[in-house]
Structure 1
Amino acid sequence: MSAYEFEWMRLTAEELRARAAEDAMVIIPVASMEQHGPHLATGVDIILGTAVAHETARRLAAAGQPVVVTPCVWTGLAEHHMAFGGTVTLEYESFAGVLRGIVRSASRHGFRKVMLLNGHGGNAEAVAVCAGECAIEFGIKVAGGTYWHVVPEVIGPLLDRQAGLMHACEAETSMIMHLRPDSVRTGRLAEAFGPMSTRIEGQPTGLAMRRSFKALSPSGVIGDARTATAEKGEALLAAIAGRMAEVLANPKLWA
């Protein structure tokens, strides 16, 4: 084991009981298995969500916050990607049931602080609702958020062609180039671009209305991945995890 092991699946039951007694935070990465354009493998959100959770946990542990990270919940709500193939989706009831079961298990073991760390846009509203439901049902503190919604201020300045993280885009492609370059089909990068928004003309940011990505973007990409680099991905991951750790370390959040 490393000097500080934070992966739930690499700890013993006794060690996890001790973490709960130390008031450790439980981070639950939540993702999706879905199409990511012609150039990225379908596991992008799983890879990135797990990496953000792990890097955030490393920073929390270094600051003295006990923490554990569960394995990633690898499937979520992705109906809007189904037309492309390569996608797995659940109904809300099934998805929320899985999240509630994991949080319930943690709470029964004595953990009192849980973060549902989401890495897929289609899960965003459901994760927020489920976090609130779990907090009420189990009487513990449960936060929920999509990482690029929680810390957008550190993402945009590192990008050349986008204001923030989108889908199979400059940001996601850069981070995958850094973490798992074998998941990038570099020969298809010239095709890896699409519209800069999932909203149609005249649709306000506050109006939710999901459409099939097939109707929005023939490539399946939202944004422009053609300027992605591994160096940019390394910087993005460090910035996201650093700021996320600062957010989660705020004692007022858990009071």
Structure 2
Amino acid sequence: MRMEELTWPDFEEAKKSIDTVLIPVGSVEAHGRHLPLGTDVFAPLELCRRVEERVRNAGKDVLIAPPIWYGHTFVLNVYPGTIDVRADAFKAYVREVISEFVEEGFKRVVLMNGHGGNVYPLIEAAEEVAESYPNAEIWLINWWIDFREDILSICSSQGHAGQDETSVMLAIRPELVKMDKAVGEKRTSRVRVIRKDIGRELFPDGVNDDPGSATRENGEAILGVISEKIARLLLGED
């Protein structure tokens, strides 16, 4: 059930039987020369859609809220098309969104996150809401982190705009993927270096992995196993 498609009376009625809302959270940023700027929202939104379908097939419902498109993306702000929101502003905005859903009566708010730079602000936002609303439960799901073992059982590597993320996008929006430009390599740093232009070193052309071997089949497998596991968690089966 998509919230933005409901009227307010429909929404009020839905709240009577739905206690969980899924909020896709991502960023608008460079993903190499081969993936669209909205990759970090397309992925969690698709996961929400698949999770909702699986939960509904089990006889329950969840609400999918409109995505939070803009995120905190300092490192990749060296590339055109990356829209960075400062961490404190992003945290405050998400905190208010979560709080509103709790005020509406939802007992569980699931942040389906698709972007690494969002992680720490999302944790802080969730903690602040939890302090104000002791009965609220906020889940933070970072799909590429929380299900890394599953992903690496399907792909040989993972990384920003890499094999796993490119495979997922081939499964979701193949018409937006330019595989003839899917090149890159893995870059690492022994310590976290914070410098305005560090993104050009760690993410050459906005990539940190080799996406060349990505496939639609692998993307479908990743989306399938992750959505199944999240649905089972929501249903209390795991």
Taking structure 2 as the reference length, the TM-score comes to 0.91
Pair 1:11-2:2 in alignment: no
In structure 1, list runs of 5 or more residues that go unmatched.
1-5
In structure 2, what is the equivalent of residue 3 of structure 1?
none
- Pick the aligned partner of 2:185 from 174, 194, 201: 194
Q: Deviations over 1:114-158 (max 9, x none)?
A: 111111011112112211211222331112131122222321111
Pair 1:185-2:178 in alignment: yes
Report deviation, 1:251.
7.9
SS in 1 for 2:28: coil
Q: Deviations over 1:232-251 (max 9, x none)?
A: 11111111111121223338
Retained in 1: the 8 A contact 2:184–2:204?
no
In structure 2, what is the equivalent of residue 169 of structure 1?
162
Structure 1: distance between partners of 2:6 and 2:203: 43
SS in 1 for 2:23: strand
Pair 1:245-2:234 in alignment: no
- Pick the aligned partner of 2:214 from 222, 228, 231: 228
Structure 2: distance between partners of 1:235 and 1:213: 30
Q: Deviations over 1:17-63 (max 9, x none)?
A: 23322242001110000000111111111111211111112112222
Task: Decide whether aligned partners of structure 1 residues 124 and 209 sit closer, same or farther in structure 2, where only a CA change above 3 A counts.
Answer: farther
C-alpha RMSD over aligned residues: 1.9
SS in 2 for 1:222: coil
The number of equivalent residue pairs is 235
Taking structure 1 as the reference length, the TM-score comes to 0.85
Retained in 2: the 8 A contact 1:194–1:220?
no
**Residues 1-255 of structure 1 mapped to structure 2, 5 A cutoff:** 6-139=1-134, 140-159=136-155, 161-162=156-157, 165-189=158-182, 192-195=183-186, 197=187, 199-201=188-190, 203=191, 210=194, 212-250=198-236
Report deviation, 1:168.
0.4
Amino acid at match of 2:211: A
Retained in 2: the 8 A contact 1:147–1:244?
no
Amino acid at match of 2:216: A
Report deviation, 1:217.
3.2
Amino acid at match of 1:158: I
In structure 2, list runs of 5 or more residues that go unmatched.
none
